[in-house]
Amino acid sequence: MRTVRTTVELREALAGAGQVGFVPTMGALHEGHLSLIRAARQDCDVVVVSVFVNPTQFNDQGDLAAYPRDEDRDAALASGAGADLLFAPSADQIYPAGYATTVRVAGVSEPFEGAHRGAVHFEGVATVVAKLLIAVGPDVAYFGQKDAQQVAVVRRLVADLGLHVEIAVCPIVREPDGLAMSSRNIRLTTADRPRALALKAGLDAVAHAVRSGADPRDAERRGTMDMHKLGVEPEYLALVDPATFAPADDLTRPTLAIVAAPVGAVRLIDNLTIPAREEA
Ligand code: AMP
């Protein structure tokens, strides 16, 4: 595996490449990221992984400063999972002096993560994803279902900008006890780690309530109660349409249960696809 730091080197390295698969990341790689790289390895001739801690998508500067960074470790893991090229640009490579262009995806980026982290979050995500897709020019780009609203924002942006790339979405990789893997999990204290299971417990309670015939708002309330039992207060726990993130009212169609909650000093998110309920 080779590491490149500029878009010029990247284009040179990819000239004449066959099917290119691309996995954008912010580093601190774990099994969730590696599942995307392995999927790309299976499907494509050349696998590009980017590692870029994108400053513009952080609404909280403390979170940006605390974000784990270890490029040597990331390079070894990416290579082991089958990456051919690691794109590790500096911030001024992505945001040149005088940078003045922002990609904003209206609608789907506004509720939930958009409301809690501010418009700056998905503007930062949409802008950097658009720039990376233009720089790499992949045939397929791989994203994790873990960041479900990000997937919906990226799908909208790819359709709206007419980018010629297929978006592949890989399932959430979890720890054996059910906690969704995240680069932020290492910041959970030993005392907080068991409480982090509240997110998955809340989602499971919503799924159970839907199966038992509850209406959407009642199912959300039951999930919230289960989280309270574990001492965690969700920022939101909601049933939504997976494409638009509008509140779901019709449970005879597949919906998505989404949750975000602070656990100690760490903000976590998770989600669960809820299959369509058979009409009575
Ligand atoms: P990040 O480095 O957090 O920006 O994540 C890079 C990519 O990895 C995104 O597409 C994430 O959705 C994906 N990802 C992160 N955690 C997981 C996970 N536990 N399972 C599957 N994909 C994940």
CATH 3.30.1300.10 domain locations along the chain: 183-273
Going by alpha carbons, the residue nearest to atom 12 of ligand 1 is 144
CATH of domain 183-273: 3.30.1300.10
CA of 144 to the centre of ligand 1 (A): 5
Asked if the 2-170 domain carries CATH number 3.30.70.3280, the reply is no
Q: Are 258 and 224 in contact (CB under 8 A)?
A: no
Which atom of ligand 1 sits closest to the CA of residue 183? 3
164 part of the active site: no
Question: Parallel, antiparallel, or unpaired for β 236-240 and 166-170?
Answer: unpaired
pLDDT at position 279: 75
d(CA 185, CA 268): 8
* Ligand 1 pocket mutation, candidates 33, 150, 167, 175, criterion most atoms within 8 A of CB: 33
* Ligand 1 pocket mutation, candidates 57, 121, 147, criterion most atoms within 8 A of CB: 147
CA of 226 to the centre of ligand 1 (A): 26
d(CA 21, CA 130): 15
d(CA 201, CA 178): 9
pLDDT at position 280: 64
Count of C-beta atoms within a 10 Å radius of residue 111: 18
Question: Parallel, antiparallel, or unpaired for β 266-274 and 2-4?
Answer: unpaired
Q: Are 74 and 52 in contact (CB under 8 A)?
A: no
Q: Which two tokens stand for residue 215?
A: 């209406």
pLDDT at position 27: 97
Q: Which of 233, 259, 59 is nearest to 178 (CA)?
A: 259
pTM equals 0.97
d(CA 24, CA 49): 6
Strand order in the sheet with 20-25: 2-4, 85-87, 46-51, 20-25, 140-144, 166-170
Rounded to a whole number of angstroms, the CA Rg of the chain reads 19
In the chain, the amino acid numbered 117 is: R
Sign of CA dihedral 70, 74, 151, 275: negative
Which atom of ligand 1 sits closest to the CA of residue 173? 20
Q: Which of 30, 67, 32, 25 is nearest to 48 (CA)?
A: 25
pLDDT at position 112: 98
| pLDDT mean for each 10 residues of the chain (280 residues) | 98 97 98 98 98 94 91 98 98 96 98 96 98 98 98 98 98 98 96 98 98 97 98 98 97 98 97 90
d(CA 150, CA 144): 9
CATH 3.40.50.620 domain locations along the chain: 2-170
- Degrees to nearest 5, angle at CA 208 with 204 and 209: 115
Catalytic option among 33, 116, 121, 208: 33
Which atom of ligand 1 sits closest to the CA of residue 27? 2
